[in-house]
Amino acid sequence: MTLPALQNTGVFYRRILSQFPQDISLAFAYGSGVFKQQGTSQGQMEKNMLDFVFAVDDPVTWHTMNLLQNRKHYSILKLVGPTKISSIQNDHGASVYYNTLVPVDGRLIKYGVISTDSLIDDLMHWKTMYVAGRLHKPVKMLVQSENGKLRAALVSNLKSAVTASFLMLPESFTEEDLFLQIAGLSYAGDFRMVIGEDKSKVVNIVRDNIQHFRILYSNILRDCSQVVYKPAQGQLEVDKSPEGQFIQLLALPRTLQQRITKLVDPPGKNRDVEEILLQVAQDPDCGAVVQQGISSIVKSSSITQSIKGIATAGLWKSVSYSSKKLMKMWKGWRRKPSVSQLS
């Protein structure tokens, strides 16, 4: 199965990609500079920074070539060379190396580099949920290689997002409820949602992009035996029996199962994972336990990646980037809708 993509990449995105080494297995653009969000005008959108992620098979070779082509994109870390940069990328934070506030073709961009193997690991197992979480939401897919493992992992990540959301939703809910839950997964536990991000971000992402979410998830929902999906009505009903929830828990990514086990199993007991998940499936607070497990993954990766970002961006760019985030948060507060507007 090929991941559904937005086909109109346009000359603009191809021009940006052409300025980087071409050995890329996956490239996508995401965020408020790419997709219109509620409360943002077209003019504001065109001023927002464009966010990219590039997955590469060989980070050392890629950074070697990029340092030759785009040395100015890097902070003072360019002095340590491509091998050390790749080590910083792979061994710290969420295994992503970001260069930010880079001027390209009249726009500011931020791009993260991740190894293809690390990306597959995150998509399959939610080790950090850092890039996997971005791919729960609509993205503009620019490059997608024929790597079968990567393609399978992209679909597996979407299925995991649906399964985790089912566990946190009631028995009956709307498409919008599901998409809000999915879009919020990668923000659960993210310390930047306390300071530095617009609090209404999840609603803003979903409200103007329902059709993009449908493109991503409709086939998965139709094929899922755990749910009754009525696309014409935009309604879903999920199996909330202990047996149904146990099947869903068993389908969750490995890291999330481990976090849930750690939350529920007292130290020293060392019970079998399936035994613990069976207990959770029968717990009225099953959804809350899953939410806590996700939060624990996101919290640790968001903190460590942000600390790494200070080094990879450099101090001046870090301060500048953070101030832009705080300004967006302030604007979000000012235009926060009332309860009546949300209903």
CA distance 74 to 220: 40
What mean pLDDT is predicted for residues 156-171? 98
Contact 165, 251 (CB under 8 A): no
Return all residues near 231 (Cβ < 8 A) that are at least 6 apart. 175, 214, 218, 221, 222
Share of the chain above pLDDT 90, in %: 69
CA distance 112 to 55: 8
pLDDT digits (tens, 9 = 90+) for 266-294: 777 778 999 999 999 999 999 999 999 99
Residue 40 confidence (pLDDT) above 70: yes
Based on the number of CB atoms within 10 Å of its own CB, is 245 exposed (0-12), middle (13-18) or buried (19 or more)? buried
CA dihedral 327, 136, 104, 325 (to 10 degrees): 10
| Angle 281-286-289 from CA coordinates, rounded to 5° | 125
Q: What number of other Cβ atoms are within 10 A of residue 230's Cβ?
A: 12
Helix axes 148-168, 175-184, angle to 10 degrees: 110
Residue 149 confidence (pLDDT) above 90: yes
pLDDT digits (tens, 9 = 90+) for 227-253: 999 999 999 999 999 999 999 999 999
CA distance 248 to 165: 10
Nearest to 301 by CA among 27, 95, 115, 56: 95
Residue 318 confidence (pLDDT) above 70: no
pLDDT of res. 2: 45
Higher pLDDT, 68 or 4: 68
Share of the chain above pLDDT 70, in %: 85
CA distance 257 to 262: 9
> Band of the pLDDT at 300, cuts 50, 70, 90?
confident
The secondary element (H helix, E strand) that includes residue 255 is: helix 254-264
Q: What is the pTM of this model?
A: 0.86
Contact 321, 100 (CB under 8 A): yes
